């Protein structure tokens, strides 16, 4: 059963619908009162592998309906579960009640089911034993518990730097030498919670240029034009405008393909949650230019055309 089916079948105002029993069951699960066998069964997930642009795959674990109904919503895959448990046990206020539920589903391995061949229906099984499951509504929160522990140990040692971050996307801003020192401190602190920095996915940039004698960790990329911080371009105006125009043009091309989707609900979900929000985010983070405004006009007309079709 999917979430929508459960929601429609069990009506809070109708005691005969079985809503009270469902509510009691969800409360039992949320309070961590399940046996290990039952928790392992409910923690099982369908595994979906999505190809990354940079190579490799991103595993998405689709939790079963009851787990998601309780509303306990990739570095996510490797953060130490022990670090998560310690942080939950020491947390005060709203996080503390999560510990029994999280312990039920993350204190043991849970099966992930996938198929490499849809036609034969052969099912293979992997075990999720480390980190949070991508696709778990709580995955981002649980990852941040381990990630924040490393950041909070690093920041007091490097007060001349700032550390903007969102999930596993972390930046260090400051003078070159101080940023390098902060990087090595953060690298050590992340290792203490089971996280490893991938130098090949790291980029160094300075508006004044980096000195040729600077020794960066092996694999680091160096940008001479600018970079993105939390999805927003940072650099000279030419870089910012080029990035914004190209990003919007790419979204516009995908928008033209939206009517080709067979499921109108999927198409509408993408329209509302991605295509309508991406331009708004660029509007908030970049200054308008004639070229960018022209693309915004094309995008707006394409949106209107899809809604009118």
Judge if 119 and 61 occupy the same domain.
yes
Judge if 15 and 99 occupy the same domain.
yes
**Read out DSSP for 185-236?**
HHHHHHHTTT----GGG-EE--TT---TT--PPTT-EE-SS-EEETTEEES-
Residue 193 vs residues 35, 50, 130, 278: alpha-carbon distances, Å:
28, 26, 11, 33
Compute the average pLDDT of residues 9-31: 71
Judge if 250 and 195 occupy the same domain.
no
Angle at 34 between CA 23 and CA 93, to 5 degrees: 70
Q: Which pLDDT does position 137 carry in this prediction?
A: 64
Q: Which pLDDT does position 159 carry in this prediction?
A: 95
Judge if 80 and 150 occupy the same domain.
no
Judge if 219 and 270 occupy the same domain.
no
Residue 243, judged by CB atoms within 10 A of its CB (0-12, 13-18, 19+), counts as buried
Q: Which pLDDT does position 80 carry in this prediction?
A: 62
Q: Which pLDDT does position 169 carry in this prediction?
A: 82
In this structure, the number of other CB atoms found within 10 A of the CB of residue 288 comes to: 12
Q: Which pLDDT does position 131 carry in this prediction?
A: 65
Q: Which residue has the tokens 């849970």?
A: 110
Judge if 94 and 40 occupy the same domain.
yes
pLDDT tens track for 178-225: 999 999 999 999 888 777 888 888 889 998 888 888 888 888 888 989
Q: Which comes out higher in pLDDT, residue 116 or 156?
A: 156
Judge if 15 and 82 occupy the same domain.
yes
Last residue of a domain, one of 143, 162, 194: 143
Judge if 109 and 213 occupy the same domain.
no
Boundaries of domain holding 85: 3-143
Q: Which comes out higher in pLDDT, residue 83 or 211?
A: 211
Q: Which pLDDT does position 230 carry in this prediction?
A: 76
Count: domains in the chain: 3
CA distance 246 to 248: 5
End-to-end CA separation in angstroms for the chain: 33
Q: Which pLDDT does position 252 carry in this prediction?
A: 83
SS3 content of the chain, % helix, strand, coil (to 5): 50, 15, 35
- State yes or no: pLDDT of 115 exceeds 60: yes
Q: Which pLDDT does position 1 carry in this prediction?
A: 45
Segment among 5-19, 77-91, 115-129, 177-191 with least mean pLDDT = 77-91
Judge if 201 and 255 occupy the same domain.
no
Q: Are 283 and 248 in contact (CB under 8 A)?
A: no
Judge if 211 and 150 occupy the same domain.
yes
Query: Is residue 166 helix, strand or coil?
Result: strand
Residue 165, judged by CB atoms within 10 A of its CB (0-12, 13-18, 19+), counts as middle
Judge if 27 and 44 occupy the same domain.
yes
pLDDT tens track for 251-294: 888 888 888 877 777 787 787 777 777 788 888 888 878 888 88
Last residue of a domain, one of 208, 229, 250: 229
Instruction: Read off the CATH number of the domain in which 164 is found.
Output: 3.30.70
Judge if 9 and 118 occupy the same domain.
yes
pLDDT classification of 74: cutoffs 50, 70, 90: very low
What is the residue-averaged pLDDT of the chain?
76
Last residue of a domain, one of 127, 143, 159: 143
């Amino acid at each position: 059963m999917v979430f929508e089916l459960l929601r429609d079948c069990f009506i809070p105002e109708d005691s005969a619908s079985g809503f009270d029993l469902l509510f009691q069951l969800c409360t039992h699960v949320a309070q961590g009162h399940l046996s290990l066998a039952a928790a392992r069964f409910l923690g099982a997930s369908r595994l979906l592998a999505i190809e990354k642009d940079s190579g490799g795959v991103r595993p998405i674990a689709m939790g079963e309906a009851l787990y998601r109904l309780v509303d306990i919503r990739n570095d996510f895959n490797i953060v130490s579960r022990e670090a998560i448990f310690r942080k939950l046990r020491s947390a005060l206020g709203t996080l503390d009640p999560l510990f029994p539920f999280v312990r039920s589903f993350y204190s043991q391995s849970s099966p992930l089911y996938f198929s490499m061949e849809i036609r034969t229906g052969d099912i293979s099984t992997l075990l999720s034993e480390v980190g949070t499951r991508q696709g778990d509504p709580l995955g981002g929160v649980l990852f941040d518990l381990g990630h924040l522990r490393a950041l909070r140990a690093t920041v007091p040692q490097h007060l001349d730097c700032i550390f903007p971050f969102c999930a596993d996307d972390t930046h260090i801003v400051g003078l070159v030498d101080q940023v390098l020192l902060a990087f090595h401190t953060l690298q050590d602190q992340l290792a203490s919670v089971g996280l490893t920095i991938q130098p090949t996915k790291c980029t160094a940039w300075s508006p004044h240029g980096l000195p040729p004698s600077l020794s960066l960790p092996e694999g680091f990329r160096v940008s001479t034009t600018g970079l993105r911080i939390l999805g927003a371009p940072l650099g000279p105006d030419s870089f910012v405008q080029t990035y914004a125009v190209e990003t919007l043009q790419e979204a516009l091309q995908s928008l033209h393909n939206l009517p080709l989707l067979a499921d109108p609900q999927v198409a509408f979900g993408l329209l509302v949650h991605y295509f309508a929000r991406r331009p708004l985010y660029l509007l908030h983070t970049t200054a308008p230019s004639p070229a960018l405004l022209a693309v915004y006009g094309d995008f707006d007309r394409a949106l209107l055309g899809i809604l009118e079709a």
